[in-house]
Amino acid sequence: MRASLLLSLGLSTLTSAHFALNHPTSLEGSSIDESKEDTAPCGALVPSLASTDPKITISDFHVDGDYIALHSGHPQYNWLFRGSVQELSEGNWTQLYPIFQQSGLGDLCQQKVTVPKGWVGKKGVVGVVGSSGDGTLFQCAVVNFVEGSNSNVPNTCTNSTGVTADYTSDATLSALVGEDVQTGNQDNKTDESAGVVVRAGGVAAMAAAVVAGVMML
């Protein structure tokens, strides 16, 4: 593990695989410019909600529960999911899910990501920020927020064998959202022992154990 982290550090100037956002469909699609993936807030492309460019794929994202499917090219990531219904220049990001750490390469799909119900009918952005051995990396999707929960599991929604997830804390990621935190629509469980507020339905499915003071290089 340590060897591969050091390796990814050493190769950080190369355009080796960082991560991809497979669902909702990312703004950069399947041609991510990995050399710009460390550019806030979204990587190589910054979405404009005013844009009517027909080349941009706009997915529906269900406020009561939808999927975020990722593919990781690093053995470990801390993930922040955030969203906004304002132009990103306004910087008003809402945290959509507790920060968690993925261990293991490959696919990871969180199944019950919720957003504020007040976003129904609005166009917005779902942003994913990953913190790993070679910095803080960004991808975004332009979405239309719709009511209900998504009953169609995207075919990209899988967990690779051996991939695990645990809540963690990450000050670098926490700094990338405002005070606004999605509280979830199903319950308000607080898991003090985990050191995180469980903010949304579905997180109960994640292991309760937490890696405290995780070493991130």
Ligand X SMILES: *[C@@H]1O[C@H](CO)[C@@H](O)[C@H](O)[C@H]1NC(C)=O
- What type of residue is 136? T
- The correct pick among 66, 107, 134, 170 for binding Cu ion (CB under 5 A) is 134
Shortest Å, Cβ 21 to ligand X: 15
Question: For tokens 């009511």, what's the residue?
Answer: 147
Pick the stretch among 62-70, 94-102, 127-135, 208-216 that binds Cu ion (CB under 5 A).
127-135
- Partners of residue 102 on adjacent β-strands: 77, 165
Does position 157 interact with ligand X (CB under 6 A)? The reply is yes
189's CB contacts (< 8 A; 6+ apart) are 198, 204
Length of the chain: 217
Does position 92 interact with ligand X (CB under 6 A)? The reply is yes
Token pair belonging to 55: 């080349």
Distance of CA 177 to the CA centre of its chain: 12
Map residues 115-154 to x or -, x wherever contact with ligand X holds by CB under 6 A.
-x--------------------------------------
Does position 165 interact with ligand X (CB under 6 A)? The reply is yes
Partner from Cu ion, ligand X, none contacting 18, C-beta within 5 to 8 A by type: Cu ion
- What type of residue is 189? K
Residue 54: is the preceding peptide bond cis (ω within 30°)?
Answer: no
Chain residues 15-44 in contact with Cu ion, contact rule CB under 5 A: 18
Residues lying near Cu ion in the complex (CB under 5 A)? 18, 134
